[in-house]
Amino acid sequence: MELSEKIKKIKPSQTLAITAKANELKSKGVDIISFGAGEPDLDTPDYVKEAAIKALKEGKTKYSPAGGIPELRKALSERIKEKNGIEYKPSEVVVCPGAKMGLYEIFSVILNPGDEVIVPAPYWVSYTEQIALNDSVSKIVDLSEENGFVLTVEHIEDAVSEKTKALVLNTPSNPTGAVVPKKELERIAEFCLKNNILIISDECYEEFTYGEEHVSIASLSKEVRDITFTVSAFSKSYSMTGWRLGWVAAPEKFSKAIVDMQSQTISNPTTFIQYGALEALKDGGEFPRRMREEFIKRRDYIVSALNSIEDVHCMLPQGAFYAFPNVSKYTQATFENDLKLTEYLLEEAKVAVVPGSAFGREGYIRLSYATSMEKIQKGVERIKHALEKLKKR
């Protein structure tokens, strides 16, 4: 029996594959430094864990409402209002098993076969695959390093057709760390309103900006809010990647469709962990603020260390926790592509990084700096030696 056509189109996540490969080598005793995983190195806060354990012990172990427990939907609607300045009723906020699933659900409830979604590149690995799973087409628009990989309305203008259904906006961006400034968001929102384009705003890194403030596009006006899906998660902000908990906020028509979809697919996000998340929100953003302070130091260090390597150029990211250096001189001169370069770095330097091609941009590598300063220092030093060795060949 053949697999379905749509599943045949899907590539497995390269970030997860590289992390798995690095972990396998580590388990064999190889001293690998991993810049692969997109997750903070800090543990989940104890008060969050304890609240989940308490819920478990109290027997909160049964099915719960498909859109999330009412307390958490209410707390999220309050938090979104306070932090991002957007009014959503609790019924317009859907708790989902991670932002990744939330995004998949959005694509499922809005796309018909053949519809187009504008995806700025470099992009986070799953957008294009999820769009393909919904029999739809990603219209890739290329952002340039010279402009700091910032999306502008001109990029979108070039990609629009009568089949365009939505735009994926990811600010701060994974993998580039680019942050779209408010002025540009206003232009983009106006264009989307005029052209009937829905906005899918992936704000998973909203807590991590280092200059330009994060602005939620849906906060710009009631009209913009009405065409926007705002997506975020506990994964990065509270170092809860393995818990699988995120949310989608959208006008009632859309949020109800997502709840209906969850009711027929997952039933509900895991019940007891939602009580942990409820506790996380009570800290008023203290935990992510502490991580942010640490990430700024690491960002400054890693970017200057990478730039000290001959023929490597790394832009200063304005948000998230990734460095995305241009290594095209090495991929062009010595290797066929950046995947080969990352394989060389894993074998020669014992350092795991992700190739830019996984994010739709050949000639770059992505390093997560959500790891200790000591590992960053050691890892970049190893990369430097391995690349210098190549020069001498």
Ligand X SMILES: Cc1ncc(COP(=O)(O)O)c(C=O)c1O
Element (H, E) at 49: helix 46-57
Min separation Cβ 308 and ligand X, Å = 27
How many Å apart are CA 115 and CA 356, to the nearest integer? 26
Min separation Cβ 273 and ligand X, Å = 13
Min separation Cβ 310 and ligand X, Å = 30
Min separation Cβ 175 and ligand X, Å = 8
8-state DSSP, 346: I
Phi, psi of 383 (to 5 degrees): -60, -45
Min separation Cβ 68 and ligand X, Å = 14
Two tokens at 141? Answer: 């628009």
Min separation Cβ 127 and ligand X, Å = 8
130/326 with CB nearer ligand X:
130
Whether the CB-CB separation of 108 and 87 falls below 8 Å is answered with no
Strand intervals (E) in the chain: 33-34, 93-96, 116-121, 137-142, 164-170, 198-202, 228-233, 246-249, 322-323, 351-352, 354-355, 365-368
C-alpha dist (Å) from residue 289 to 35, 131, 207, 209, 292 = 22, 33, 7, 10, 5
202/279 with CB nearer ligand X:
202
Whether the CB-CB separation of 380 and 302 falls below 8 Å is answered with yes
98/379 with CB nearer ligand X:
98
Position of minimal CB gap to ligand X: 98
Whether the CB-CB separation of 306 and 323 falls below 8 Å is answered with yes
Min separation Cβ 386 and ligand X, Å = 26
295/330 with CB nearer ligand X:
295
Whether the CB-CB separation of 203 and 234 falls below 8 Å is answered with no
123/330 with CB nearer ligand X:
123
For residue 172, is the peptide bond before it cis, meaning its omega torsion is within 30 degrees of 0? yes
43/310 with CB nearer ligand X:
43
65/175 with CB nearer ligand X:
175
Binding site for ligand X (CB under 6 A): 38, 98-100, 124, 170, 174, 202, 204, 233, 235, 241, 246
How many Å apart are CA 376 and CA 370, to the nearest integer? 9
Min separation Cβ 392 and ligand X, Å = 37
Strand duo 228-233 + 198-202: pairing: parallel
124/275 with CB nearer ligand X:
124
How many Å apart are CA 182 and CA 221, to the nearest integer? 13
Whether the CB-CB separation of 353 and 32 falls below 8 Å is answered with no
How many Å apart are CA 150 and CA 316, to the nearest integer? 12
